[in-house]
Structure 1
Amino acid sequence: MREDIFNFLRKHQNEFVSGQQISEQLGVSRTAVWKHIRALKQKGYVIESYTKKGYCLREAPELLSPEALEKGLASSEFGQHIVYRERVDSTNNVAKQLADDGAPEGTVVIAEEQTGGRGRLSRSFHSPFAKGLWFSVILRPAIPPMEVSKMTLLAAVALARSLRAHGLSDCGIKWPNDILIHGRKMVGILTELNGSAEKVNYIIMGIGVNTGITEGDLPEDLKDIVTSFAMEGVAVHRTELLQTILSELEQLYHTVCQEGFAPILAQWRILSCMLGQKVSVSSVNRSFTGTAADIDDDGNLIVETEGGVEKVMAGDVHVRPV
């Protein structure tokens, strides 16, 4: 019904239509019309409303279109099958179900909004309506399960290259799964595995990119740690950005299939904003500080401390100002 109300307003864009007109045309109560229009406003639709005049649609957010996305794709596999949803709990959850049902490699699930987006260590990932790219890619690589963690590094390289191509030349990779700009988070990556100790059945690569988020969209606890294209003052077209990301992901994925992860790790080192910086490492059992020196061939972070060299395989790594 909400979509029907929007389509009616769009048909009469920049004209006032009364709640009674909408009610009669669509066979819904005026109270329901008011509630749906309020929800549209909360999602970023600019709708004027005045007593005795009704409602007038002035501006609607740019929504993603699978058809438009497919037309400009440079990739041959990634994005050739697209599942688009306006609202989901998590694109990773939808992608898992599709993968279980046999969806082909390169299938992309994208949503305008996630109500239960998540990151590493079960953290929530803020994913407001039409303010970012919230999507997941299904992969079926012929790699051993022990190498799956390096797929996150692959994604980080692809995202950093894509963001730089769209005007964010200062962005860098924070180990293992974030893209930062000026110390604030722009991108989150969550790679999830389905398989056994011997075999990878499939991987779900979940990605969130903040595009149109403003400070007013953020809860208080995120205002000092999150940024977006809009907050950095850089205009971006979401469809074009997604096309670039999928092309970069596919190119790097084919590199791994043909040459292994060594070229990816080399690119990661170049694009990292962590190496050479003081970091604080915390895990369930211990915490320590040191200098992020490198990543090894397995993608683990090498940290030099006063007591020696530490290899970090899991945990929460924070970049600390020198």
Structure 2
Amino acid sequence: MKEKVLNMLKENKKGFISGQKLSEILGVSRTAVWKVINHLRDEGYDIESVSRKGYRLKVSPDILTQGELNRLLNTNIIGNKIIHFDSIDSTNTYAKELASRQEKAGTVIIAEEQTAGKGRLGRNWTSPKGKGIWMSLILKPDIDPTDAAKITQIGAAAVCEAIRDMGIEAYVKWPNDIILNNKKVCGILTEMSGELNTINYIVMGIGINANIDSTEFPDDIRKIATSLKEYHREEIDRKHLVASILNRFEDLYKELIDENSIKRSIKICKDSSILLGKQVRIISRHKEELGKAIDITENGELIIEKENGEVEKVISGEISVRGINGYV
């Protein structure tokens, strides 16, 4: 009922809507309407009430709820259900719990804050309250488990394009980072549960430093991390960015589901790559090698030319790629 009341307030934003009309439309008492209005106020909505006129929405808060995002989405599946938290340990952890209990595909878990955010290869991810986009998508594609890594490339393409639409020159660092000014602004963590020939579910987590000030980054990552605000010199509209990412992701994801192809995503990742043509370090658990990043295959593998001239396909997983003298 809360979403219905909020939608009606938004539709009548320039005028008042009476408590009596709300109660009649919803089929509930005026007391029930009053309780919902107070709950919305507790969430940060500035709702004016005037005797004999009713209620009027003056200002919506900067929160990433279903009610705030619905009007910006044009998806069929992705984001049809958005579960919002003020604070959570990790959206990926919660999304995996839900997915294992048969939560439907397309559900998005999003939080204002993560207290134990996760990055790739077990790294921590700083997620301050109200300053970023911390969300996870539950996916259940009918594809071979060996193709699961393609989801990361789709996510990277969607995020990069959404940021570029804001006039911000973003780049993709294969396989899962988005880069501004040679610093990381977004990371993508894709996790899968499956069997030999079947995917039970995939959870793709996206963490974006939106409105974090440079001084808010921990000392150990300040040299390699940045935010959209720091680059753009003004606050970022988080709602529009989230919606743009989800809209773009569904469009690109459809190519994988319908055609078993990610050609469009790979083109975006190649055209926006910050690695291709550069000398890089390929770091695994057991060794570190030097080579030149020369291409990305249609399956999302990075092609490296080693110092001895040997050409090798690198699959994301336990491999990290770094620049010769720094992060990129």
What interval of TM-score do these two structures reach, taking the shorter chain for normalisation? Answer: 0.7 to 0.9
Query: Tell me, what secondary structure is at the counterpart of 1:222?
Result: coil
Instruction: Structure 2 unaligned segments of length 5 or more: list them.
Output: 1-37, 47-59
- 1:226-282 deviation per Cα after TM superposition (whole angstroms, max 9, x unaligned): 111111124321111100000001000111112222332222211211100111111
Please list, as runs of the form range in 1=range in 2, the aligned pairs for 1:42-81 lying within 5 A after superposition. Answer: 62-81=62-81
Quote the Cα distance in structure 1 between the aligned partners of 2:44 and 2:104.
Answer: 38
> Aligned to 1:317, which of 314, 321, 326?
321
Q: Is the 8 A contact 2:214 2:227 kept in 1?
A: no
Q: Is the 8 A contact 2:252 2:262 kept in 1?
A: no
Q: Is the 8 A contact 2:66 2:81 kept in 1?
A: no
Quote the Cα distance in structure 1 between the aligned partners of 2:81 and 2:263.
Answer: 29
Aligned CA distance change for structure 1 residues 61 and 69 (closer, same or farther; 3 Å): closer
Q: Is the 8 A contact 1:141 1:202 kept in 2?
A: yes
Quote the Cα distance in structure 1 between the aligned partners of 2:212 and 2:191.
Answer: 26
Quote the Cα distance in structure 2 between the aligned partners of 1:86 and 1:206.
Answer: 17
Quote the Cα distance in structure 2 between the aligned partners of 1:8 and 1:61.
Answer: 8
Larger displacement relative to structure 2 (137-146 or 265-274)? 265-274
Query: Tell me, what secondary structure is at the counterpart of 1:221?
Result: coil
Q: Is the 8 A contact 1:256 1:264 kept in 2?
A: no
Q: 1:85 deviation in Å?
A: 0.5
Cross-structure match for 1:295 = 296
Larger displacement relative to structure 2 (199-208 or 300-309)? 300-309
Cross-structure match for 1:274 = 275
**C-alpha root-mean-square deviation of aligned residues, in Å?**
2.3
Cross-structure match for 2:224 = 225
Larger displacement relative to structure 2 (72-81 or 307-316)? 307-316
Q: Is the 8 A contact 1:96 1:204 kept in 2?
A: yes
Cross-structure match for 2:165 = 165
Q: 1:100 deviation in Å?
A: 1.7
Q: Is the 8 A contact 1:167 1:234 kept in 2?
A: no
Q: 1:8 deviation in Å?
A: 11
Larger displacement relative to structure 2 (121-130 or 64-73)? 64-73
Query: Tell me, what secondary structure is at the counterpart of 1:207?
Result: strand
Quote the Cα distance in structure 2 between the aligned partners of 1:8 and 1:117.
Answer: 23
Quote the Cα distance in structure 1 between the aligned partners of 2:63 and 2:312.
Answer: 46
Q: Is the 8 A contact 1:137 1:205 kept in 2?
A: yes
Quote the Cα distance in structure 1 between the aligned partners of 2:44 and 2:134.
Answer: 27
Q: Is the 8 A contact 2:79 2:107 kept in 1?
A: yes
Cross-structure match for 2:102 = 102
Structure 2 letter corresponding to 1:316? S
Cross-structure match for 1:174 = 173
Aligned CA distance change for structure 1 residues 8 and 93 (closer, same or farther; 3 Å): closer
User: Does 1:124 find its partner at 2:128?
Assistant: no
Please list, as runs of the form range in 1=range in 2, the aligned pairs for 1:114-263 lying within 5 A after superposition. Answer: 114-168=114-168, 170-232=169-231, 233-259=233-259, 260-263=261-264
Larger displacement relative to structure 2 (92-101 or 77-86)? 92-101
Q: Is the 8 A contact 1:114 1:127 kept in 2?
A: yes
Larger displacement relative to structure 2 (282-291 or 77-86)? 282-291
Structure 1 letter corresponding to 2:304? V
Structure 1 letter corresponding to 2:107? T
Which 4+ stretches in 1 moved above 6 angstroms? 8-11
Structure 1 letter corresponding to 2:311? V
User: Does 1:84 find its partner at 2:88?
Assistant: no
Aligned CA distance change for structure 1 residues 9 and 244 (closer, same or farther; 3 Å): closer
Q: 1:124 deviation in Å?
A: 0.4
Quote the Cα distance in structure 2 between the aligned partners of 1:296 and 1:195.
Answer: 24
Query: Tell me, what secondary structure is at the counterpart of 2:212?
Result: coil
Q: How many residues are treated as equivalent by the alignment?
A: 270
Q: 1:7 deviation in Å?
A: 4.8
Q: Is the 8 A contact 1:280 1:317 kept in 2?
A: yes
Larger displacement relative to structure 2 (310-319 or 180-189)? 310-319
Quote the Cα distance in structure 1 between the aligned partners of 2:264 and 2:70.
Answer: 28
Quote the Cα distance in structure 2 between the aligned partners of 1:189 and 1:8.
Answer: 29
Quote the Cα distance in structure 1 between the aligned partners of 2:158 and 2:44.
Answer: 39
Instruction: Structure 1 unaligned segments of length 5 or more: list them.
Output: 12-59
| TM-score, reference length from structure 2 | 0.78
Structure 1 letter corresponding to 2:236? V
Quote the Cα distance in structure 1 between the aligned partners of 2:108 and 2:45.
Answer: 29
Quote the Cα distance in structure 1 between the aligned partners of 2:266 and 2:239.
Answer: 28
Quote the Cα distance in structure 2 between the aligned partners of 1:88 and 1:251.
Answer: 29
Q: 1:156 deviation in Å?
A: 0.4
Structure 2 letter corresponding to 1:305? K
